Amino acid sequence: MPTALQLQEVVADATPLLGGGKVADYIPELAKVPSGKLGIAVCSHRGVVGAGDFEEAFSIQSISKVFALVLAMGLYDEQELWSRVGKEPSGNPFNSLVQLEFERGKPRNPFINAGALVITDMLQSRLSAPKQRMLEMVRELSGNPHIVSDKLVAASEYQHSARNAAIAYLMKSFGNFDNDVDAVLRTYFSHCAIRMSCADLARAFFFLSNKGSGLDHQNRLSEKQNRQVNALLATCGLYDGSGEFAYRVGMPGKSGVGGGIVAVVPGQMSVAVWSPELDPSGNSVAGVAMLEMLSKRLGRSIF
Ligand SMILES: NC(=O)CC[C@H](N)C(=O)O
């Protein structure tokens, strides 16, 4: 477990990288976030340590794709789930359509938009209130009952949803989408618009470093499912930047276009970082750098 001082050093050493990326602006509401934020939090059995802006809430965006998958793994059996979505890295941008046509509407993995939209469609089929269920889950996992989904961000995404709608309709044309596209998009955007801090996220992801059992001692996943999710995070969690992330950081991880990244050190700790400026793949520039520094300084690459 790093000390607060070590985390402060990581934040200080990442500060010169500010200005080296671009805040997501394809969702206009996200473009309003100040670009100079830097936060890091680590959670182990001993609790949370953080530095920088680690207590400030931000839009978790694609990090919600992990929570959605975990929910779906509790509702569907293995065979059913993976008949609808694959387990391979895509090597393409997170919101790409090209592969979907060639691969007959089956998304490569649950951590790109197409995959998360199929997972959300599956949640929509089995849950009466999927938006609320997701909020309950992140509140329980993080121990923070005040977590909410930002209605302005969700509305902004809905107003600019042409690409996600196109992905969903393409999958529907192949028979891999059961519910009304508009209803599923609204649920998906509500999940993406959840606001959490690095401290919340580090707590919420602790179960993935602890054989599927959360800080509240609830078993969220079996040990086997936990290994499976970590394997998918290690290979697919940062879209077409997943190989580079494994090379530099060496931890299963998941990013979002809000600038957050969560990472897991199996058996030890979960880490969350935040800095809004992104690289061309949509991953936080300073966020990846902070995780790389932490991994190197503590010797925590899993490889
Ligand atoms: N990579 C991301 O974080 C993308 C999530 C975003 N809500 C979208 O659908 O485009």
Q: In this predicted model, what pLDDT tens digit does every residue of 140-178 receive, in sequence order?
A: 999 999 999 999 999 999 999 999 999 999 999 999 999
Q: Is 3.40.50.1100 the CATH number for 64-192?
A: no
Q: Tokens for 282?
A: 């949509």
Q: Phi and psi dihedrals of 120, rounded to 5?
A: -65, -35
| Cβ of residue 276 lying under 6 Å from some atom of ligand 1 | no
- Residue 216: the pLDDT is 84
- Give the model's confidence band at 293: pLDDT under 50 very low, under 70 low, under 90 confident, else very high: very high
Query: What residues does each domain of the chain span?
Result: 4-62+194-298, 64-192
Q: Does 154 contact ligand 1 (Cβ within 6 A)?
A: no
Give the distance (Å) from ligand 1 centre to CA of residue 155.
Answer: 13
Tell me the CB-side half-sphere exposure of residue 93, using CA atoms within 13 A: 12
Beta bridge partners of 61: none
* CA of residue 280 to ligand 1 center, whole Å: 14
Helix axes 130-142, 64-73, angle to 10 degrees: 100
Buried b (16+ CB within 10 A) or exposed e, 223-233: eebbebbbebb
From CA 16, how far away is CA 52, in angstroms rounded?
Answer: 14
192 lines ligand 1 (CB under 6 A): yes
Mutate which of 27, 63, 66, 94 for ligand 1? The one with the most ligand atoms within 8 Å of its CB, which is 94
Can 4-62+194-298 and 64-192 be said to share one CATH topology?
Answer: yes
Instruction: Using alpha carbons, select from 212, 269, 245, 255 the residue that is nearest to residue 70.
Output: 212
**Domain 4-62+194-298 CATH assignment equals 3.40.50.12640:** no
Retrieve residue 192's tokens.
Answer: 């993406």
**95 close to ligand 1 (CB < 6 Angstrom):** yes
Band of the pLDDT at 269, cuts 50, 70, 90?
very high
Q: Which amino acid is at 241?
A: G
**Ligand 1 geometric centre to CA of 256 (Å):** 7
- In contact, 88 and 108? CB cutoff 8 Å: yes
Q: Which tens digits make up the pLDDT trace of 202-261?
A: 999 999 999 999 998 899 999 999 999 999 999 999 999 999 999 999 999 999 999 999
Q: Which of 22, 27, 62 to mutate to test the pocket of ligand 1 (most atoms within 8 A of CB)?
A: 62
**Which residues does 180 contact at the CB level (< 8 Å), separation at least 6?**
none
Q: What Cα–Cα distance (Å) separates residue 69 from each residue in 3, 57, 76, 184, 300?
A: 32, 22, 10, 15, 26
Distance 219 CA to ligand 1 centre (A): 28
Q: Which residues contact 276 (CB under 8 A, 6 or more apart)?
A: 23, 24, 30, 33, 34, 35, 37, 58, 258, 259, 284
pTM above 0.95, yes or no: yes
ipTM higher than the 0.90 cut: yes
What is the tens place of the pLDDT at every residue in 44-89?
Answer: 999 999 999 999 999 999 999 999 999 999 999 999 999 999 999 9
> Binding site for substrate: what residues are annotated?
62, 113, 157, 164, 188, 239, 257
* Residue 213 CB less than 6 A away from ligand 1: no
Instruction: Supply 162's token pair.
Output: 């042409």
Q: What are phi and psi for residue 185, nearest 5 degrees?
A: -60, -45
Report how far Cα 175 is from the mean position of its chain's Cα atoms: 26
Q: Are 298 and 3 in contact (CB under 8 A)?
A: no
Residue ID of nearest Cα to ligand 1 atom 9: 113
Q: Which of 64, 67, 95, 239 to mutate to test the pocket of ligand 1 (most atoms within 8 A of CB)?
A: 95
Contact 24, 257 (CB under 8 A): yes
Q: List phi, psi (to 5°) of 213.
A: -105, 125
CB count, 10 Å around CB of 156?
20
